[in-house]
């Protein structure tokens, strides 16, 4: 019995024996964690990305964070904090020396850099040292490139082509796409082409083992029971996980934010909606112990 417990313990742990010293803050940060699984005689090593967002990683099994290589949808209503949340993950990962690519189809590069500076995140240092690239793309370019490929090649060939617009000279560990909603709008009236592009994109990210957050704006959060347009369903099906951000309206008129991990393949997580704060000069704080429950004195509505 004791022997078994000992063995189980040795099957998971911290990838590097000592903590990594962050190049930017000088503080020691948590290195990559891993679990070893044995399945049908094969050994599988599952690695996890610690986002470094205060309180967020605590929502996952043993506080490990997100399994590496996963495609996670970050969805929520307008202004629910999708962009800031993803930038917070970029900050946490850059601090650990992970390479991040932020692909923006909405806000220009300078604005995203400003957002990061407002939270005192060292965006210029990250970019200067080659850890971070923030790049803005035009959605029309995506749809035009898909058009061009479709007219040149057969669909079967297109599947083998890497999704257009990925920079060839930058190989990231983590990618944010802000947002799928914007890309979808460029394909309006051509849903099957959007599906081809999405399949290509997911395949590329999977093949290159790039962990990614894909932002999607939704008018009604998933669990509140909306019915999606077809493109939304295709994306949900392809993703490994869903993180939902909520706008909260309390009965006293105050507004706030909340977060929930709704789905995540391959690891256990806490199934609850908890309070989240976006604080100037500080960043994103997830209060993993403050559940928004219906019976709390101060009522609220989630949007």
Ligand X SMILES: Nc1ncnc2c1ncn2[C@@H]1O[C@H](COP(=O)(O)OP(=O)(O)OP(=O)(O)O)[C@@H](O)[C@H]1O
Binding region for ligand X (CB under 6 A)? 76, 78-84, 115, 118, 217, 278, 280
Considering the complex, what minimum distance in angstroms separates the CB of residue 222 from Mg ion?
A: 18
- Alpha-carbon separation of residue 128 from 23, 108, 109, 175, 230 (angstroms): 13, 18, 14, 18, 41
Considering the complex, what minimum distance in angstroms separates the CB of residue 73 from ligand X?
A: 13
Name the residue nearer to ligand X (CB basis): 143 or 247. 247
Distance of CA 86 to the CA centre of its chain: 6
Q: Select from 71, 83, 91, 247 the one that contacts Mg ion (CB under 5 A).
A: 83
From the list ligand X, Mg ion, none, pick the one residue 84 interacts with, judged by a Cβ distance below 5 to 8 Å according to partner type.
Answer: ligand X
Eight-state DSSP code of residue 63: G
Considering the complex, what minimum distance in angstroms separates the CB of residue 182 from ligand X?
A: 9
Considering the complex, what minimum distance in angstroms separates the CB of residue 130 from Mg ion?
A: 25
Given CA atoms 132, 136, 137, 139 in this order, what sign does their dihedral have?
positive
Q: Which residues contact 107 (CB under 8 A, 6 or more apart)?
A: 83, 136, 178
From the list ligand X, Mg ion, none, pick the one residue 163 interacts with, judged by a Cβ distance below 5 to 8 Å according to partner type.
Answer: none
Name the residue nearer to Mg ion (CB basis): 146 or 215. 215
Choose the binding region for Mg ion from 83-91, 145-153, 203-211, 289-297 (rule: CB under 5 A).
Answer: 83-91
Angle between helices 191-207 and 139-152 (to 10 degrees): 90
- Alpha-carbon separation of residue 237 from 58, 136, 270, 282 (angstroms): 26, 27, 21, 35
Name the residue nearer to ligand X (CB basis): 83 or 211. 83
Contacts with Mg ion by CB under 5 A lie at 82-83
């Amino acid at each position: 019995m004791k022997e078994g417990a000992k063995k189980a313990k040795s099957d998971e742990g911290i990838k590097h024996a000592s903590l990594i010293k962050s190049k930017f803050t000088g503080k020691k940060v948590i290195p990559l964690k891993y679990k070893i699984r044995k399945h049908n005689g094969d050994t599988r090593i599952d690695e996890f990305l610690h986002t470094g967002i205060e309180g967020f990683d605590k929502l996952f099994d043993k506080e490990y964070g997100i399994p590496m290589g996963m495609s996670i949808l970050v969805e929520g209503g307008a202004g629910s904090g999708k962009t800031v949340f993803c930038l917070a993950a970029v900050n946490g990962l850059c601090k650990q020396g992970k390479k991040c690519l932020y692909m923006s189809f909405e806000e220009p590069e300078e604005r995203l850099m400003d957002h990061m500076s407002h939270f005192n995140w060292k965006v210029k240092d990250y970019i200067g040292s080659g850890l971070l690239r923030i790049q803005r793309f035009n959605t029309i370019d995506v749809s035009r490139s898909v058009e061009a490929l479709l007219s040149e090649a057969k669909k079967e060939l297109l599947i083998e082509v890497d999704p257009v617009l990925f920079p060839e000279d930058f190989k990231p560990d983590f990618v944010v796409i802000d947002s799928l909603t914007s890309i979808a709008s460029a394909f309006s009236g051509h849903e099957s082409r959007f599906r081809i592009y999405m399949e290509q994109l997911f395949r590329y990210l999977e093949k290159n083992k790039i962990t990614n957050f894909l932002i999607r704006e939704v008018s009604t959060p998933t669990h509140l029971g909306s019915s999606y347009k077809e493109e939304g369903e295709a994306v949900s099906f392809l993703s490994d996980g869903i993180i939902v951000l909520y706008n909260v309206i309390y009965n006293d008129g105050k507004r706030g934010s909340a977060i929930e991990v709704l789905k995540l393949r391959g690891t256990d997580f806490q199934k609850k909606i908890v309070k989240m704060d976006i604080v100037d000069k500080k960043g994103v704080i997830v209060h993993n112990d403050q559940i928004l429950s219906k019976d709390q004195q101060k009522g609220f509505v989630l949007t």
